[in-house]
A and B are shown apart, each in its own frame.
Chain A
């Protein structure tokens, strides 16, 4: 079956611009997670959605980062006024139910110039 998909696969943007990253979870998965992977910081948790509950935003690094999940399916991670330190691979994962196995998407490589 189809796995987690993310788009775009690569994004190059100028400092100060806003970007939107999209995640399509596996159909039927109720939990959706965003992580960031960068050379200096390793793999970091950003935000987590479970069903209709309020998201756990405790990993978002600043108020320039936000995410939403529409209709309990697709999620969009938005970074406003991008900075060079935002350059990283942004990974999305979904699971059937929290806290079971998380399946990761291919990631979006973001480069801020």
Chain B
């Protein structure tokens, strides 16, 4: 059974700082997604990572995938308040099309 773990669960960081969120999964998969969720809102797609070594960047966020280590990272550069949200990674279970979500990382950026 595929399990997805994220850490940290909660992250409070100062504006301008850098930090990384980690997503580990337990069984083979080559498809991983990062989503953002604002309070009371639905999920917004951030990144789709489909191959080993994939790296994608959008603004202050950069995501990478290492399928051999079963690890994805979401790196935040020079955080700003607008990045405050909950971030989820989700992994597609091989031989199915189910998305298995991590626990989420609640990010709070303060001045």
Whether the Cβ atoms of B100 and A45 lie closer than 8 Å is yes
Closest Cβ–Cβ distance, residue A91 to chain B (whole Å): 6
Whether the Cβ atoms of B97 and A99 lie closer than 8 Å is yes
Whether the Cβ atoms of A105 and B97 lie closer than 8 Å is no
For A4, give the chain B residue with the smallest CB separation.
B42
Whether the Cβ atoms of A106 and B48 lie closer than 8 Å is no
Known interface pairs A45-B99, A48-B97, A59-B98. Does A101 touch B33 (Cβ–Cβ under 8 Å)? yes
Whether the Cβ atoms of A42 and B101 lie closer than 8 Å is yes
Q: How large is the interface on B (under 10, 10 to 19, 20 to 34, 35 or more residues)?
A: 20 to 34
Cβ of A25 < 8 Å from any Cβ of B?
A: no
Cβ of B96 < 8 Å from any Cβ of A?
A: yes
Measured CA separation A98–B96 after assembly (Å): 9
Whether the Cβ atoms of A50 and B97 lie closer than 8 Å is yes
Cβ of A33 < 8 Å from any Cβ of B?
A: yes
Whether the Cβ atoms of B31 and A106 lie closer than 8 Å is no
User: Interface size of A by Cβ–Cβ distance < 8 Å?
Assistant: 24
- Which residues on B sit within 8 Å (CB–CB) of A43? 88, 90, 101, 104
Closest Cβ–Cβ distance, residue B40 to chain A (whole Å): 9
Option from A35, A56, A91, A101 in Cβ contact (under 8 Å) with B97: A56
For A47, give the chain B residue with the smallest CB separation.
B98
- Which residues on A sit within 8 Å (CB–CB) of B96? 48, 56, 58
Given contacts A43-B88, A45-B99, A56-B97, 13 further A-B contacts (CB under 8 A): A33-B97, A35-B101, A43-B104, A44-B101, A59-B98, A91-B43, A99-B92, A99-B97, A101-B33, A102-B99, A104-B43, A106-B41, A106-B42
> Could you show 24 A-B contacts with beta carbons less than 8 Å apart?
A33-B97, A35-B99, A35-B101, A42-B101, A42-B104, A43-B90, A43-B101, A44-B101, A45-B98, A45-B99, A45-B100, A48-B97, A48-B98, A56-B96, A58-B98, A91-B43, A99-B31, A100-B48, A102-B45, A102-B99, A104-B35, A104-B42, A104-B45, A106-B42
Q: What 5 A-B pairs are tightest by C-beta distance, nearest first?
A: A43-B101, A98-B97, A104-B43, A45-B98, A104-B42
